[in-house]
Structure 1
Amino acid sequence: MDLWSFIAWFFWIFVFAAYLMVVFSIIADIFRDHSLAGGWKAVWILFLIFVPFLTALVYLIARGRGMQQRSVAQAAEIRQQQADYIRSAAGTSSPSDDIAKAKALLDAGTITQAEFDALKAKALA
């Protein structure tokens, strides 16, 4: 095997890996999109199986912007869930949660207005 055949082999392996990444991203996006009906999801998957390159190209052109928006929304949701989990594991809460709890205690008559003001100042500090 000469040098150029070796380089061409690596190039085609790279192209194939990139193609697989695109196909798996499209499949993930198809199942992530809740506005797309089940029948249309099946049609996209069938076309991806039988006419893969053309379908991937059409999907990226037709639905690429929505694909990006769904990906960003999912990333934001995951980030929020991580922050909530870390906050609950550390036993801390956000200032707005602390103020809401203190307001509920004030409304129930459990604490006085002065105690509420002290808890609010502590939460905001």
Structure 2
Amino acid sequence: MDKYPLLDLFWTMLWFFLWIMWLFLLFKVIADILRSDDLGGWGKAGWLIVALLLPYVGVLVYVIVRGKSMGKRDVKEAQDREAAFKAYVREAAGASEAHAPKEGKHVDDLTKLAELKDRGAITDEEYQRAKTKLLV
């Protein structure tokens, strides 16, 4: 049985993890090439050919040349996803308000009335009349 010293194991694991990191970077670069709006079809094809035929050099050159805009595209995509999520939540919340019980519909109005009463803009009697009107 051959010996496999600890240092050899360390070097094997190091190279394995570096290879995995490079694969992640390669897929990230390919995804960025395909979603990039500022590249035309020929530009995308050229970068894909460089990245796939000369993988280590192609990925490194792409990150050097287009790394800054790559980050900007990531930020823009994250902002777009967040805006879409917020719009969905607002839409879903609006739909649930339409089916809410009558008492739940006027919470904002009651809060405004209480603020007006606290500021002295309306009297206790006016507050009670408006409150009764909202709840009935």
Flag as ranges the 4+ runs of structure 1 deviating above 3 A.
none
2:52 alignment partner in structure 1: 49
Matches within 5 A, 1:92-107: none
Percent of aligned pairs sharing the same letter: 34
5+ residue gaps, structure 1, are 93-118
2:14 alignment partner in structure 1: 11
Matches within 5 A, 1:1-125: 1-91=4-94
| SS in structure 1 at match of 2:11 | helix
Q: Let me know the Cα RMSD of the aligned residues.
A: 2.2
Deviations 1:14-52 (A, max 9, x none): 101110111111111111111101111111111111111
* Mapped partners of 1:44, 1:90: distance in 2: 44
Greater RCO structure (CA 8 Å; 6+ sep):
1
TM-score (ref. length: structure 2): 0.65
TM-score (ref. length: structure 1): 0.70
| AA in 2 matched with 1:88 | E
